[in-house]
Amino acid sequence: MKFIDGHNDTVIKMKENGVNCFLRGDRSAHLDLPRAMNAGFSGGFFAIYTPDRSDFPQLEDYQTQEGYQLPLSEPCDHHYAYQYTDYMLNLLKQAERNSQGALKFVSNKEELLKYVNEDTMAGILHIEGAESIDPDFKALYDYFDKGVRSLGPVWSRPNIFGEGVPYHFPSSPDTGPGLTKKGKQLVKECNKLGIMLDLSHINERGFWDLASITNAPLVATHSNVHTLCPISRNLTDQQIDAIGESNGVIGVTYSLNMLRKDGIIDANASMTEITKHIHYIAERIGIEHVALGSDFDGTTIPKTVEDVRGVPGLMDHLQREGLTQRELKKVSMDNWLRVLEDTWKA
Ligand SMILES: [Zn+2]
């Protein structure tokens, strides 16, 4: 069964190992072109995230009996983020050029539909955290011209647009101030261009600020259910309801730290630990509002999925748990298609 995936960080692997590894097969990555095509990966969001300049703190160093409270990441310099994003964007474009037509980055719904129906991987360029965008939005328009069609205003740190959630467990996502004046303008500019806005990583006040301004469906590309795993990164029932009411979608992530109720990071977590988040969202707001958002190559995932080759098994698991073919098609493909069509301008 073909599927669209809401989030991968595979460009990090392209940077480490070279674009050819992605094109020919890269066993050290969750995702590469041959394995993805084999598994039915017809399309997906390729995120560009500018890493912290200091090492990301190790969760184990902060783990206590009560959970963990990783410190909020430092703001990231605009010029550094701009140069870094440019470099990563070029790597993705290089992968497209050298793929001999197997990978195409799409910039409108016609291209998206065309390629997912062919044996071509439809890539969607996504920027995760808007540090590379200047307050005058020149870079935003430049990125649009280069094909970027999705943007997360914040990663898990503050920037001039708003503030992301730090990794806290257990914790509400209400961890800090909402969107700044510039952040509110950014939402309007993205609406104007038809760039999809991603609410994964934003704190709760930012979420509600964005929800009250945007004219597009609400989307969280890689977030799970807070009731089932109360990490600050997951969505409360009220946030889930708002996404449903906007005719939006939640891409359920396989990230180990976002699955279990007790917050324990268990590499042997069963597929049910992932699918229970899918069922919860489907039961609460409808099967039309839940999709896949792996976070391949951006996190650690259960061994039962292991990498992109595990997605067909996850689909089979959902089928055994009672999803019909029609429902599976919504989760794997149709919900992402609908939301992108509703968001992107013709
Ligand atoms: Zn992320």
Give me the DSSP letters along 191-224: HHHTPEEB-TTB-HHHHHHHHHH-SS--EESS--
Q: Tokens standing for 111?
A: 């291209």
Going from the Cα of 151 to the center of ligand 1, the distance in angstroms, rounded, reads 12
pLDDT of residue 103: 98
Three-state DSSP at 29 gives: coil
pLDDT of residue 56: 79
In contact, 294 and 258? CB cutoff 8 Å: no
Going from the Cα of 287 to the center of ligand 1, the distance in angstroms, rounded, reads 23
Going from the Cα of 9 to the center of ligand 1, the distance in angstroms, rounded, reads 8
Q: Tokens standing for 333?
A: 């493909």
Give dist(CA 82, CA 230) in Å, integer: 33
Going from the Cα of 8 to the center of ligand 1, the distance in angstroms, rounded, reads 8
Give dist(CA 7, CA 21) in Å, integer: 20
Going from the Cα of 154 to the center of ligand 1, the distance in angstroms, rounded, reads 10
Going from the Cα of 295 to the center of ligand 1, the distance in angstroms, rounded, reads 7
Q: Which of 51, 52, 70, 50 is nearest to 60 (CA)?
A: 70
pLDDT of residue 272: 98
Going from the Cα of 48 to the center of ligand 1, the distance in angstroms, rounded, reads 10
Going from the Cα of 303 to the center of ligand 1, the distance in angstroms, rounded, reads 20
pLDDT of residue 322: 98
pLDDT of residue 60: 82
DSSP per-residue letters across 246-267: TT-EEEE---GGGT-TT----T
User: Which amino acid would we find at residue 156?
Assistant: S
Arch. (CATH architecture) of 3-343? Alpha-Beta Barrel (3.20)
Residues in contact with 63: Cβ distance below 8 Å, sequence separation at least 6, in sequence order: none
Write out residues in the chain with pLDDT < 50, as ranges. none
pLDDT of residue 346: 53
What would the pLDDT profile of 14-34 be if each residue is shown by its tens digit? 999 999 999 999 999 999 999
Going from the Cα of 152 to the center of ligand 1, the distance in angstroms, rounded, reads 9
Q: Which of 236, 125, 241 is nearest to 170 (CA)?
A: 236
Q: CA dist 21 to 10, 25, 246, 283, Å? A: 11, 5, 40, 40
Residue 186 C-alpha from the chain's centroid? 19
In the chain, the percentage of residues whose pLDDT exceeds 70 is 100
pLDDT of residue 61: 87
C-alpha angle with apex 169: 303 to 60, nearest 5 degrees? Answer: 60
